[in-house]
Amino acid sequence: MAKKIPSAILTFRFPGLVYFENNFEDPMIRNGAPDETEIQAALVCSKKHALQIRVKNGGGMTRDYEGLSYLCKTPFVISDLVDLRLISIDLEEETTWVLSKATVGDLYYTIAQNSRIHGFPAGICQCVGIDGHFSGGGVGTMTRQYGLAAENITATNLIDADARILNREAVGEDLLLAIRGGGGASFGIIVAWKIKLVWVPPVVTVFTI
């Protein structure tokens, strides 16, 4: 059976993408989401017109091989957090705010630019987006010592299904716990994460046997 080639809305971000099945819709609109208000507007309009929303993070290509973030069997809008990329480090507090579009590699690079003794325990592959990764757990080389990425998250800013922006206080303990492993898209659209930095030695030795 011939595979379906997705429309330009999807191939803009995922060149060469081909669906494994033919029964998926293409997104009607790609919501570039340069800030929170655009995401709120997309949520309100989608609800009004009974459209589904898919939330996409990731780098230039998708890291979600099941297509959960960009496929739907009914008409939908794709909210592509392509512009939310800022990473701001507070070395005194040993914390960092990371906006949703950042990849794990962006995060590691920015931490390394600012400190030789701090790191973050997340995955090995730098191209993975932080949202799917953090909200799914996040296993990496430092997991034995510091736990999963999700265990080192202290706050998140989230837009819920009613298009309300929730900060750490409004998110509360139960929802924060659920997001850290339960998959972000089950609960809303995450726009930023606050993470706890961990200590790493300034010099490491790498060897093979």
Kindly list the residues in this chain that would bind ligand FAD in the complex (CB under 6 A): 54-58, 62-64, 68-69, 81, 100, 123-125, 128-129, 131-133, 135-140, 183-185, 189-190
CA–CA dist 179, 116 (Å, integer): 30
CB atoms within 10 A of CB 170: 12
CB of 63 to ligand FAD, least distance (A): 4
CB neighbours of residue 153 within 10 Å: 21
When the beta carbons of 153 and 189 are compared against ligand FAD, the nearer one is 189
Whether 13 and 60 have beta carbons less than 8 Å apart is answered as yes
Give min distance, CB of 72 to ligand FAD, in A.
11
The number of angstroms, rounded, from the C-alpha of 184 to the middle of its chain's C-alpha atoms is 8
For residue 203, give both structure tokens: 């010099």
Q: Of 42 and 128, which has the nearer Cβ to ligand FAD?
A: 128
Question: Which residue number has the CB closest to ligand FAD?
Answer: 132
CB of 110 or CB of 193, closer to ligand FAD: 193
For the CB of residue 208, give the shortest distance to ligand FAD in the complex, in Å. 19
**Block residue for tokens 């998250």:** 153
Tokens 């726009």 label which residue?
A: 191
* Minimum gap (Å) between residue 92 Cβ and ligand FAD: 28
Q: How far is the CB of 82 from ligand FAD (least distance, A)?
A: 11
Q: Which two tokens stand for residue 93?
A: 């507090």
Nearer to ligand FAD, 104 or 197 (CB): 104
CA distance 132 to 34: 19
Q: How far apart are CA 29 and CA 75, in angstroms?
A: 10
d(CA 65, CA 58): 12
Closer Cβ to ligand FAD, 51 or 190, answer by number: 190
Are 107 and 120 contacting, i.e. CB atoms less than 8 angstroms apart? yes
Closer Cβ to ligand FAD, 28 or 68, answer by number = 68
Distance in Å, CB of 129 to ligand FAD, minimum = 3
